[in-house]
Chain A
Amino acid sequence: MAAGKRKATERRKDGKGIQDTSMGPPAVPSFRRIGKAFRKVDATAKVTGVTKFADDLFLPRMLFAKVLRSTQPHARIRRIDVSRALALDGVHAVLTGRDLPIPFGILPVSQDEHALALDKVRFVGDPVAAVAARSEEIATAALDLIVVEYEPLAAIASAEDAVETPDPRIHDYGHGGNLHKVVSLEFGDVERGFAEADLVREDLLFFEGSTHLPMEQHAAVADWSPDRKLTLWSSTQTPHYVHRALAQVLELPPARIRVIATPNGGAFGGKSDPFSHEIVVAKLAMVTGRPVKITLTREEVFYCHRGRHPTLMWVKTGVKRDGAITAMHFRSLLDGGAYGSYGVASTYYTGALQTVTYHIPRYKFQGARAFTNKPPCGPKRGHGTPQPRFALEVHLDKIAEQLGLDPAELRLRHLVPPDSVTANYLRVGSIGLGDCIRKVVDGSGWKDHFRKLPFGQGVGLACSSYLTGAGLPVYWNDMPHSGVQLKCDRGGGVTVFCGSTEIGQGSDSVLAIIVAEVLGLDPFDVAVVAADTDLTPVDLGSYSSRVTLMTGNAAIQAAERARDILARYAGERLGVSAVRVRFADGRVCDAADPTRAISFAEAVQLAEAAQGTVGTMGSYTPPRSPASGRYRGAGVGPSPAYSYSAAVAEVVVEPDTGIVRVPRIWIAHDVGRCINAAAVIGQIEGSVYMGLGEALMEEMPYRANRHVVHKIPSLLEYKSPTTLEMCDVVTYIVEHPDPNGPFGAKEAGQGPLLPVMPAVANAVYDAVGVRVDEVPITPEKVLKALKRKAKGEPPRYGPTSFPAIPWPEPTYVPPPWEDVDTIATASRHR
């Protein structure tokens, strides 16, 4: 890795602007657009309230739908009588499970959801029936007229409950009893590793569940045209998967279905499953022959959930005196809620990325996901990785203390090398974690503050890594993950068509900037047509931080192909070879003499005259992972590139109340290559904000004794930080370009959330000497730990046991350094 490629950009949240603190001259050609701070291409419409979200759509003769939801946490449906609802004036149709009997689910292995419950309900809020009526008020009134007779079944309220209670089963598939999935993998002999260690430490930690809380509540509008074509507008992150689910459940050919993802008013993973309400409005439109709209209430968004899995974790690590890890054994128990969703992947993710930060020569992972009678958990920003990262980073903080090492030093000494393969066969490309740690350590004055501040004040450090897109698609296939079509207009405009979905993260802007960079245009002159299954080539969706890398690479390919075509004809006109043609500032010129130029529009006209419409295509398929085919579950974890972050949190703890405040967080993020500085900084600050909520207050409590209802399904009572709780953020952008990224870019949307929770937990310990081994770190937990400390008991609050799970014999996989074939191949290449 050439030092010259590294660059860091600093910015403070208090608006002091961006200072460029280049760490050397860039070794790559300088960019015109890439790396600048751009306003997002759709920003003005959003801040002026002009953007049309799904709920803003009104079609002529439109009806309104409402969903009746289960009032039982677990019950068989004996009888549903909809006759009185149907008779209500203004009601056009009522659906029940029998009208939509085909199951669906995001993963092929978990097709366990029904648009409306068929014979059983599994949580309070499970969809049971749906009404379309002239107005929302009538539809609401009709819900109350539907009679549902339930035969209650015993409800399971927690993952521990599920382990202990195999009957009644919530689903009749899975691992057995109420365990949905159990994983057991061992990469190298960990017992041998523990035997070689100078210190072996075990810890138990718990990460509470949280929800995405997007500002926009899910909404969808369906239209069934007289020529038998269905159109669905929906606030979804994954129009392609919704397209597939609609075809499956409605038994329509995909060619008759058009899904348009409207701009999402925030999503964070909460809109990446196909949902009941999307299928229901589609069916209602087909049944009534009129457009039908549904807008969920905030409470219903809590029932859609798919948020962070509450996860209990046990970790055991052996280390040498210098902190070198000899082996790690990690166990997780995930509370999955009532359905599969992405849960199988989430389970693997709680064990996948431990290995990509610090070198772990032997690694064992055992994970289990339980079904419970609560809204289903799924992917929330960081998908399955913030929980283990929290556990690991707190665990390392304790190990560093036991070894008498500075936690920053311990981490710096044992970083995974670039261009290497981990024990579980994840290929790490570029890794800027060392620079990230040095940035936050220097910026925060770590060395002067750590263990040196007065009682009540503290600092804590933590690191993390995240994927830049999953290496494999949700359903197995050999096709590209992202496709881009590009059309050049003879007026000089360029339109890019792509299935990727704008969820506020800036994917439209990334497309525009990348195309503008290659073709020398102003990003605001590039039209983006996105997320419409009739118009745009497939992109798998806005999840797993995949869009910038995958769509970006596809866009570069399409744009370069267009550039080659235009260069040929422009070169002919300028009398130079195509390779000497440069694209910049809306002009196409001779690189040797830029005054010799034609406009971009002229170049298009020349090409169009010579060969017809100028249109190109690009697509992207991730490289094959070394893990591929090596073990079951090897599909989860591989990624074209890993981003890295490090954070230092500063906290103030009030000893008499236990209240924790976080005045400031320093965070450095290795984004590979920053494409839009404003968007990258925005994603980092947003991640810190979301992480702070999870660290300090967000939780998903249920009343186990009252039908397992969600205790606080509202924006007021579900506590998430306001601007007043938000800390000051000092952001450092670190750039270690990855060969797989577009211009070297890696992700920024999820990774920076991960170090926040453990950094805060470690800082609380630094401040008052108590360990709160679970998040959220609420005042009552801190105060309890402080009281224990005062009484001379262990100064800790956290879980005390991990339930006995009948783990299957682990699949043994020799790590690359022990695997005969891998070693043989490596030596051949040398």
Chain B
Amino acid sequence: MLRLPSFTYRQPRSVREAVAAKTDAGADGMYVAGGTDLYPNMKRRHQEPRTVISLMGIRELTGCEMRDAGCVVGANTSLTDLAAHPAIRRKYSAVAHAAELVSTPLLRNMGTLGGNLCLDTRCNYYNQTYEWRKAIDFCMKKDGAICWVAPSSPRCWAVSSSDVAPVAVAIGAEFLLVGPGGERMVPAARLYQNDGINYLAKHPDEILVEVRLPPPDGWDAVYRKLRRRGSFDFPVLGVAAWVRWDDAVVADARIVLGGVASQPLEVPEAGAALRGEHLSDERIAAAAESAYRPAKPLDNTDFDLSWRKQMTRVYVKGALDELRNRRGR
């Protein structure tokens, strides 16, 4: 059986205590929320913390509240609760939908929003046991020197595989981070960077405390997910599409792709193709074409990569059609 290695488990009661525990543990410490990403990773020795600091006993990380300035969701909110929350379902249906599409009911019961947004990047040269990785002489992301997906590349191309992150970026959510140096607010897009190893622009000691969703006024968003099966599977492509309506005209738009880069990838050209226009078949096709070009899936997830790239067009078009239909309703 694949066993978890031994580790010290800490259960702080407040964000401050947690940060202190993490500072204590240093580089050997890691936070855990639901553990649905971290524990499997520890079994395969991707991450080898000696001290695991659970965030689950911290009250400040719970709750989901509508305010004037939008909705504030605690990082510990489980994906099940997030997807079922009446206000989220009504006002932020794309968020609820993305959460609902994560993995399986069991994993959604354990998995949290915070963990989902901080999810490790994935690659099928990396998400393997230690013994398997030994047979390929490891890779740059852990224990090795080369990236087998792109051997001449100086960086790791592991894939951003969160379902909620592209939606958070598309709708312009903001994250409250608290660390040893105090707290700061960052726009969702700025938490991520296109590097499979350093995919989060955040200090490892910083805790994601809450997610602020912008007020639901005059915009709409949808999320589409491509995966092999209707449950269980990570996205091999996620499309989050957001538009701000000015009557029937698109005042502003953002298309963000998941599963095709080491971060949720915004395609500004696709948004630009829609701005100031009606969502006509022609505009939709133009946006889909713009999104297709920069999507660079590599051979490190499920499915054939050229097919995945082709699907960008189909899925972006599908997302925009859906937005248009919702507007029509």
Residues on A facing B (Cβ under 8 Å):
55, 69-72, 124, 136-137, 140, 143, 217, 295-299, 656-658, 697, 703, 706-707, 709-714, 716-717, 719, 721-725, 778-780, 783
Interface pairs (13), CB distance under 8 Å: A70-B135, A136-B1, A137-B6, A140-B3, A295-B1, A296-B1, A657-B311, A706-B136, A707-B135, A712-B302, A713-B128, A716-B233, A721-B229
The one of A69, A217, A714, A779 that contacts B131, using a Cβ cutoff of 8 Å: A69
The one of A299, A707, A717, A724 that contacts B230, using a Cβ cutoff of 8 Å: A724
Are B131 and A299 within 8 A (Cβ)?
Answer: yes
Known: A722-B230, A725-B229. A297 touches B129 (CB 8 A): yes
Are B302 and A719 within 8 A (Cβ)?
Answer: yes
Residues on B facing A (Cβ under 8 Å):
1-3, 5-6, 124-125, 127-129, 131-132, 134-136, 148, 228-233, 302-304, 306-307, 310-311, 314
Output the nearest chain B residue to A55 by Cβ-Cβ distance: B1
Known: A709-B136, A721-B229, A725-B229. A136 touches B3 (CB 8 A): yes
Are A717 and B3 within 8 A (Cβ)?
Answer: no
User: What's the nearest-Cβ distance from chain B to residue A698, in Å?
Assistant: 11
User: What's the nearest-Cβ distance from chain A to residue B290, in Å?
Assistant: 18
User: What's the nearest-Cβ distance from chain A to residue B160, in Å?
Assistant: 17
Known: A71-B135, A713-B132, A724-B231. A706 touches B2 (CB 8 A): no
Cβ of B228: which chain A residues have Cβ within 8 Å of it? Answer: 697, 719
Cβ of B303: which chain A residues have Cβ within 8 Å of it? Answer: 778-780
Known: A722-B229, A724-B229, A783-B307. A137 touches B135 (CB 8 A): no
Are A716 and B232 within 8 A (Cβ)?
Answer: yes
Cβ of B304: which chain A residues have Cβ within 8 Å of it? Answer: 778, 780
Cβ of B124: which chain A residues have Cβ within 8 Å of it? Answer: 711-712, 717
Are B229 and A719 within 8 A (Cβ)?
Answer: yes
Output the nearest chain B residue to A661 by Cβ-Cβ distance: B230
Cβ of A722: which chain B residues have Cβ within 8 Å of it? Answer: 229-232
Cβ of B132: which chain A residues have Cβ within 8 Å of it? Answer: 299, 709-710, 713
User: What's the nearest-Cβ distance from chain A to residue B223, in Å?
Assistant: 18
Are B136 and A297 within 8 A (Cβ)?
Answer: no
Are B232 and A297 within 8 A (Cβ)?
Answer: no
Cβ of B1: which chain A residues have Cβ within 8 Å of it? Answer: 55, 136, 217, 295-297
A615 to B104, CA, bound (A): 53
Q: Which of A72, A295, A658, A709 has the most CB of B within 10 A?
A: A709
Main secondary structure, interface of A, reads loop
Cβ of A697: which chain B residues have Cβ within 8 Å of it? Answer: 228-229
Output the nearest chain B residue to A295 by Cβ-Cβ distance: B1
Cβ of A719: which chain B residues have Cβ within 8 Å of it? Answer: 228-229, 233, 302
The one of B136, B148, B302, B307 that contacts A717, using a Cβ cutoff of 8 Å: B302
User: What's the nearest-Cβ distance from chain B to residue A265, in Å?
Assistant: 14
A560 to B311, CA, bound (A): 65
Cβ of A299: which chain B residues have Cβ within 8 Å of it? Answer: 2, 128-129, 131-132
A217 to B310, CA, bound (A): 38
Known: A299-B129, A780-B304. A709 touches B6 (CB 8 A): no
A722 to B148, CA, bound (A): 31
Are B302 and A124 within 8 A (Cβ)?
Answer: no
Are A71 and B134 within 8 A (Cβ)?
Answer: yes
Cβ of A725: which chain B residues have Cβ within 8 Å of it? Answer: 229-230
Output the nearest chain B residue to A787 by Cβ-Cβ distance: B310
A217 to B2, CA, bound (A): 11
7 further A-B contacts with Cβ under 8 Å, apart from A713-B128, A724-B231, are A71-B135, A299-B2, A719-B228, A721-B229, A723-B231, A778-B303, A780-B303
A112 to B274, CA, bound (A): 65
Cβ of A296: which chain B residues have Cβ within 8 Å of it? Answer: 1
Are A297 and B2 within 8 A (Cβ)?
Answer: yes
A143 to B311, CA, bound (A): 44
The one of A297, A298, A706, A721 that contacts B148, using a Cβ cutoff of 8 Å: A706
Cβ of A716: which chain B residues have Cβ within 8 Å of it? Answer: 232-233
User: What's the nearest-Cβ distance from chain A to residue B253, in Å?
Assistant: 22
A783 to B304, CA, bound (A): 12
A554 to B230, CA, bound (A): 46
Output the nearest chain B residue to A124 by Cβ-Cβ distance: B135
Output the nearest chain B residue to A719 by Cβ-Cβ distance: B228
User: What's the nearest-Cβ distance from chain A to residue B133, in Å?
Assistant: 9
Output the nearest chain B residue to A70 by Cβ-Cβ distance: B135
Output the nearest chain A residue to B303 by Cβ-Cβ distance: A780
Output the nearest chain A residue to B230 by Cβ-Cβ distance: A724
Output the nearest chain A residue to B304 by Cβ-Cβ distance: A780
User: What's the nearest-Cβ distance from chain B to residue A777, in Å?
Assistant: 13
User: What's the nearest-Cβ distance from chain A to residue B40, in Å?
Assistant: 9
- Which 9 residue pairs of A and B lie closest in terms of their CB atoms, listed nearest first? A724-B230, A780-B307, A71-B135, A780-B304, A295-B1, A297-B2, A706-B136, A124-B135, A719-B228
Cβ of B314: which chain A residues have Cβ within 8 Å of it? Answer: 656-657
A709 to B126, CA, bound (A): 13
Output the nearest chain A residue to B43 by Cβ-Cβ distance: A297
Output the nearest chain A residue to B227 by Cβ-Cβ distance: A719
A707 to B125, CA, bound (A): 12
Cβ of B135: which chain A residues have Cβ within 8 Å of it? Answer: 70-72, 124, 707, 709
Cβ of A711: which chain B residues have Cβ within 8 Å of it? Answer: 124
Output the nearest chain A residue to B311 by Cβ-Cβ distance: A657
Cβ of A69: which chain B residues have Cβ within 8 Å of it? Answer: 131
Cβ of A714: which chain B residues have Cβ within 8 Å of it? Answer: 127-128
A716 to B131, CA, bound (A): 18
A658 to B2, CA, bound (A): 37
Output the nearest chain A residue to B136 by Cβ-Cβ distance: A706
A701 to B223, CA, bound (A): 31
Q: Which of B135, B302, B307 has the most CB of A within 10 A?
A: B135
Cβ of B307: which chain A residues have Cβ within 8 Å of it? Answer: 658, 779-780, 783
User: What's the nearest-Cβ distance from chain B to residue A690, in Å?
Assistant: 15
Cβ of B148: which chain A residues have Cβ within 8 Å of it? Answer: 706
Cβ of A703: which chain B residues have Cβ within 8 Å of it? Answer: 136
A719 to B236, CA, bound (A): 13
Output the nearest chain B residue to A141 by Cβ-Cβ distance: B5
Cβ of B136: which chain A residues have Cβ within 8 Å of it? Answer: 703, 706-707, 709
A783 to B124, CA, bound (A): 24
A195 to B257, CA, bound (A): 60
A544 to B3, CA, bound (A): 35
User: What's the nearest-Cβ distance from chain A to residue B193, in Å?
Assistant: 26
The one of A71, A713, A717, A780 that contacts B306, using a Cβ cutoff of 8 Å: A780
Cβ of A71: which chain B residues have Cβ within 8 Å of it? Answer: 131, 134-135
Cβ of A709: which chain B residues have Cβ within 8 Å of it? Answer: 132, 135-136
A295 to B307, CA, bound (A): 38
Cβ of A710: which chain B residues have Cβ within 8 Å of it? Answer: 132
A722 to B3, CA, bound (A): 26
Cβ of A779: which chain B residues have Cβ within 8 Å of it? Answer: 303, 307
A136 to B43, CA, bound (A): 13
The one of A137, A657, A707 that contacts B3, using a Cβ cutoff of 8 Å: A137
Are B310 and A137 within 8 A (Cβ)?
Answer: no
Cβ of A72: which chain B residues have Cβ within 8 Å of it? Answer: 135
A59 to B258, CA, bound (A): 49
User: What's the nearest-Cβ distance from chain B to residue A643, in Å?
Assistant: 30
Q: Which of B148, B228, B306 has the most CB of A within 10 A?
A: B228
Cβ of A778: which chain B residues have Cβ within 8 Å of it? Answer: 303-304
Output the nearest chain A residue to B148 by Cβ-Cβ distance: A706
Known: A697-B228, A717-B302. A137 touches B311 (CB 8 A): no
Cβ of A707: which chain B residues have Cβ within 8 Å of it? Answer: 135-136
Are B129 and A137 within 8 A (Cβ)?
Answer: no
A576 to B128, CA, bound (A): 73
Cβ of B128: which chain A residues have Cβ within 8 Å of it? Answer: 299, 713-714
Cβ of A217: which chain B residues have Cβ within 8 Å of it? Answer: 1
A157 to B277, CA, bound (A): 54
Output the nearest chain B residue to A294 by Cβ-Cβ distance: B1
A298 to B2, CA, bound (A): 8
Are A783 and B310 within 8 A (Cβ)?
Answer: yes
A72 to B135, CA, bound (A): 7
